[in-house]
Amino acid sequence: MEKIKILDIKNTGLNMAVDELYLYIRNNRFMYKYDLNSMNITAQNEIFKKDGKARGFSIFNEFILLWDFLDLYILRKDDLTVIDTLRLGENLSSDICGVMWFNSPKVYIKIRNGWIYVLDISTKCFDKIQVSDTSFWSDYVTDIYLYAGTVTGELLEIDKTMLQVTRKTQLHKKNIYSIICENGLLYTASQDGTIKVVNSTTFEILNVAKKAVVGMVEFVGIHGNTIIIAGPRNPLALWDKNTLQLRESVNLVYNRDSMLCGNILYFCDNQGIYKIILT
Residue 14 confidence (pLDDT): 87
**Residue type at position 3:** K
Local confidence band at 3 (pLDDT 50, 70, 90 cut-offs): confident
Please tell me the least confidently modeled range out of 7-21, 88-102, 107-121, 125-139.
7-21
Residue 187 confidence (pLDDT): 98
Residue 2 confidence (pLDDT): 84
For residues 121-141, give the mean pLDDT.
96
Q: For the whole model, what pTM was predicted?
A: 0.94
Taking Cα atoms as reference points, which of 145, 151, 137 lies closest to residue 54?
137
Residue 268 confidence (pLDDT): 86
Local confidence band at 157 (pLDDT 50, 70, 90 cut-offs): very high
Encode pLDDT of 230-267 as tens digits.
887 778 899 999 999 999 987 765 555 789 999 999 98
Count other C-beta atoms under 10 Å from residue 193's C-beta.
Answer: 17
User: Contact at 8 Å (CB) between 168 and 156?
Assistant: yes
For residues 123-144, give the mean pLDDT.
96
Taking Cα atoms as reference points, which of 145, 110, 154 lies closest to residue 128?
110
Taking Cα atoms as reference points, which of 235, 267, 219, 263 lies closest to residue 14?
267
Residue 104 confidence (pLDDT): 94
The pLDDT mean for the chain works out to 94
Local confidence band at 13 (pLDDT 50, 70, 90 cut-offs): confident
Is the predicted pLDDT of residue 93 greater than 90, yes or no?
A: yes
User: Contact at 8 Å (CB) between 257 and 25?
Assistant: no
Residue 255 confidence (pLDDT): 58
Q: Rounded to the nearest 5°, which phi and psi values hold at 123?
A: -105, -15
Give every CB contact of residue 143 below 8 A, 6+ residues apart in sequence: none
Taking Cα atoms as reference points, which of 128, 132, 184, 186 lies closest to residue 158?
132
Encode pLDDT of 70-84 as tens digits.
999 999 999 999 999
Which alpha helices (H) appear in 155-246, and where do they start and end?
none
For residues 169-192, give the mean pLDDT.
97
Residue 211 confidence (pLDDT): 95
Percentage of the chain with pLDDT > 70?
Answer: 98
Domains present along the chain, CATH in parentheses: 12-238 (2.130.10.10)
Peptide bond into 105 cis (omega under 30): yes
Residue 252 confidence (pLDDT): 67
Taking Cα atoms as reference points, which of 135, 142, 199, 131 lies closest to residue 166?
131
Local confidence band at 146 (pLDDT 50, 70, 90 cut-offs): very high
Give buried/exposed letters for 36-71 (b at 16+ CB in 10 A, else e). Answer: beeeeeebeeebbeeeeeebbbbbeeebbbbbbebb
CA angle centred on 188, ends 187 and 189, rounded to 5°: 130
Percentage of the chain with pLDDT > 90?
Answer: 84
Q: How far is CA 214 from CA 59, 148, 155, 198, 230, in A?
A: 29, 20, 20, 20, 10
**Residue type at position 113:** N
Residue 253 confidence (pLDDT): 59
Local confidence band at 125 (pLDDT 50, 70, 90 cut-offs): very high
Residue 256 confidence (pLDDT): 57
Residue 254 confidence (pLDDT): 56
Taking Cα atoms as reference points, which of 55, 90, 91, 61 lies closest to residue 73?
55
